[in-house]
Each structure stands twice: as structure tokens, then as C-alpha cells.
């Protein structure tokens, strides 16, 4: 399977049994061979969104500790490219996490983004290329 870059939504869905996408995320995580790549902005968002779940924040960090999810992106090295992406998509608006994930897809041309975020249908890598995604609705751009 191609390298997988994971967004916040699938992590939250995996950890929250009441999430509408929980079964999808659980089943997909059983199919994908770890590790899944991500950025610290995604982990920060996920920790915030599961803060009210018992053990939620620790469960996010446990995914990192077990190397199911690995941080492969260094914002300091890519800050100018991320700034340009956020400026290009200011009307969406693009979050820092989304900008990092788009940049990660640019850096690894074979990467697929695992997301529940419809904005990835709007975003383009390298200004004009569809970003391959895995979404609850099926594959997009893959």
C-alpha cells in the first residue's frame, strides 16, 4: 500500500465509539499497515477534540508511543511552503494541520491522505494536482 498520511478526523473517529465514522476508521486501521505519517498540528487537534473522552488524550499519544502514528513532518523546514498554502486557501480557510498534510503529500508523491475532511477535494498539491485520499465516502484521486 502507498504511504498514508493521517488527518485529525480519522484519529478522533477511531478513538470515539460515538463518532459517525468510528466503524469506518476502525476497519480501515485494521487494513492499513502502520506507521501512518502525520504532523504535530494534527496530534494537537486530535488531543483537543478527544479531551472529554476518558483517556482520550492519552490514547492519541499511545498511538504515537506504539509507532502506529509517526510524526514525519518538521514545520520549521517547510514553514514557507506551508505559509504559501495557507495564503492560497485563505478563503476555505485552511488550517495549519491541513496545510502541513498538503505539504506532506507534495513531499511524497505516492502518499494518500486519510481524512474525513471534504476540503481535501478542494486542495491541490503542487498547485494543480488532485491529492489522493481515503475517505468514508470512498477513494478520491487515488
Domains plus CATH for the chain? Answer: 4-140 (3.40.50.1010)
Global pTM reads: 0.93
| pLDDT of 1 above 90 | no
Q: Give me the sheet containing 133-135, strands edge to edge.
A: 69-71, 36-38, 4-6, 112-114, 133-135, 138-140
Q: Would the pLDDT of 2 be above 90?
A: no
| Pairing outcome for strands 4-6 and 112-114 | parallel
Whether the per-residue pLDDT at 140 is higher than 80: the answer is no
Q: Report pLDDT for 138.
A: 73
Q: Three-state DSSP class for 127? A: coil
Whether 31 shows a pLDDT value over 70: the answer reads yes
* For residue 106, pLDDT beyond 80: yes
Amino acid at each position: 500500500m502507498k504511504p498514508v498520511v493521517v488527518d485529525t478526523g480519522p484519529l478522533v473517529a477511531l478513538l470515539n465509539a460515538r463518532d459517525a465514522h468510528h466503524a469506518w476508521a476502525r476497519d480501515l486501521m485494521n487494513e492499513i499497515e502502520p506507521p501512518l505519517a502525520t504532523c504535530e498540528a494534527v496530534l494537537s487537534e486530535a488531543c483537543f477534540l478527544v479531551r472529554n473522552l476518558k483517556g482520550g488524550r492519552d490514547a492519541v499519544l499511545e498511538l504515537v508511543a506504539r509507532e502506529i502514528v509517526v510524526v514525519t513532518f518538521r514545520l520549521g523546514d517547510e514553514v514557507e511552503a506551508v505559509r504559501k498554502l495557507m495564503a492560497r486557501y485563505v478563503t476555505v480557510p485552511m488550517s495549519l494541520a491541513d496545510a502541513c498534510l498538503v505539504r506532506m503529500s507534495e513531499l511524497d508523491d505516492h502518499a494518500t491522505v486519510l481524512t474525513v475532511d471534504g476540503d481535501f477535494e478542494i486542495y491541490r498539491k503542487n498547485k494543480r494536482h488532485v491529492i489522493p485520499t481515503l475517505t468514508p465516502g470512498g477513494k478520491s484521486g487515488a
